[in-house]
Structure formats: structure tokens, C-alpha cells
């Protein structure tokens, strides 16, 4: 059963409320920054895909008015979900059913099919960048790289030959 969305101005209340929701519930997170309506639209990831083409952006989480990115994670032997803000530069994240232990390396998979994400390459911190594809064609030249170490802030977006490190989300 899908619970109706609720709104809260306090993320802690959100968290406590959420425990009574199952993972099919919809979560709405308050924004960390206030933006006037006159401001330009932020850059938002509207879709990204697992190796089998499942879209990881869905209505299970909402950051401001944008649907969040859901990932299944395993940390220190426990499984749960992590929701990431789809807004570039927004460090918001939220874990569900799993404690993220600082410094641990996460096993990250698709919630839908359980597929692991391909490793793009090593991160400076000793973790690994995992690849979330930005297009349905699943090309490594159009992807989002996220370090799998809890607490590492390294992440980037690649569009063709351009790799933008300005996308400094506080990853996972
Ligand atoms: Zn999948
Ligand atoms: Zn890293």
C-alpha cells in the first residue's frame, strides 16, 4: 500500500515518521537551502540507470520538488537503502534501514534487479567509483561516478569528453 506523502519542516520528524512507513512509502525531504522563485532552475538528474536499464530516479523520495535517486546498499554486512538528492551540488542524502559507518566501503546495487554497478575506476581515497548511467544507452561516456566509501565527497558527471568535478555531492 502506498502511503500518502507528508510534509515536514524538520528532517528528524521525517526520519521518525518514516520508520512507520514501508519502503514503498513516499518520502519528502525538506530542502537544506532556500531558493527564491526568481533563481534559475538547478541542474537536476532526471534519470539514471542500472546496467539493466532500470531508472533509479523515482517517486520514493523527493528532494525539494525533485524525485530522488534510490540505491540499495550493503554496509558492514547490513542491507538497506540510500536516497540521494538528484540536485547537482546538493549534499542531501538519507539512509533507510542501514547505518552508514564512516569509512566503510559500500556494496551498491539496483533495488529493482540487484545488479551491481560497474566500477569506473579507483578513487583517491582507496574506494572505487561506481558508474550510474545517465542515459538508457548505458554508455560510460555519459555517466555519473560516485565513490563507494561512506563519507567520501568525490563524485563527478561525465558528458562525452567532459568530466565535471564540480558536482561535489557528499556521496554515500
Ligand atoms: Zn536494475
Ligand atoms: Zn572516495
Q: What contacts 51, CB < 8 A, 6 or more positions away?
A: 110, 115, 116, 117, 118, 133, 138
- 77 strand-pairing partners: none
Q: Look at residues 51, 50, 72, 43 and name the one whose alpha carbon lies nearest to residue 60.
A: 72
* Å from CA of 106 to ligand 2 middle: 11
Q: In whole angstroms, give the CA distance from residue 76 to residue 140.
A: 29
* Å from CA of 39 to ligand 2 middle: 32
Q: In whole angstroms, give the CA distance from residue 143 to residue 89.
A: 16
Place of cell 566509501: 149
* Å from CA of 24 to ligand 2 middle: 30
Largest Cα span, the chain: 46
* Å from CA of 55 to ligand 1 middle: 8
How confident is residue 96, by pLDDT bands cut at 50, 70 and 90? very high
Total structural domains within the chain: 1
Residue 2, domain member (yes or no):
no
The rounded mean pLDDT for the chain is 80
Residue 37, domain member (yes or no):
no
Residue 145, domain member (yes or no):
yes
Residue 15, domain member (yes or no):
yes
- 146 strand-pairing partners: 130, 155
* Å from CA of 35 to ligand 1 middle: 34
Q: In whole angstroms, give the CA distance from residue 96 to residue 81.
A: 5
User: pLDDT of 15-60, one tens digit each?
Assistant: 333 443 444 556 777 655 555 555 677 889 999 999 999 999 999 9
* Å from CA of 33 to ligand 1 middle: 32
pTM of the model: 0.75
**Out of 4-18, 30-44, 113-127, least confident range:** 4-18
CA of residue 39 relative to chain centroid, distance: 24
* Å from CA of 125 to ligand 2 middle: 4
Q: Look at residues 142, 172, 138 and name the one whose alpha carbon lies nearest to residue 155.
A: 172
Which structural domain, as residue segments, surrounds residue 69? 11-32+42-164
Q: Look at residues 99, 78, 93, 68 and name the one whose alpha carbon lies nearest to residue 147.
A: 93
* Å from CA of 51 to ligand 2 middle: 21
Residue 128, domain member (yes or no):
yes
Amino acid at each position: 500500500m502506498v502511503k500518502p506523502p507528508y510534509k515536514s519542516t524538520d528532517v528528524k520528524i521525517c526520519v521518525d515518521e518514516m520508520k512507520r512507513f514501508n519502503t514503498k512509502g513516499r518520502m519528502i525531504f525538506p530542502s537544506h537551502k532556500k531558493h527564491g522563485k526568481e533563481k534559475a532552475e538547478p541542474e537536476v538528474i532526471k534519470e539514471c540507470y542500472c546496467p539493466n536499464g532500470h531508472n533509479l530516479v523515482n517517486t520514493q523520495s523527493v528532494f525539494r520538488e525533485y524525485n530522488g535517486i534510490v540505491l540499495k546498499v550493503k554496509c558492514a554486512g547490513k542491507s538497506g537503502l540510500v536516497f540521494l538528492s538528484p540536485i547537482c551540488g546538493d549534499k542531501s542524502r538519507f539512509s533507510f534501514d542501514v547505518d552508514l559507518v564512516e569509512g566503510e566501503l559500500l556494496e551498491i546495487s539496483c533495488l529493482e534487479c540487484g545488479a551491481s554497478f560497474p566500477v569506473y575506476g579507483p578513487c583517491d581515497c582507496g574506494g572505487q567509483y561506481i558508474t550510474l548511467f545517465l542515459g538508457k544507452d548505458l554508455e560510460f561516456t555519459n555517466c555519473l561516478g560516485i565513490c563507494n566509501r561512506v563519507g567520501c565527497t568525490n563524485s563527478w558527471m561525465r558528458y562525452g569528453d567532459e568530466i565535471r568535478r564540480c558536482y561535489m555531492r557528499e556521496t554515500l
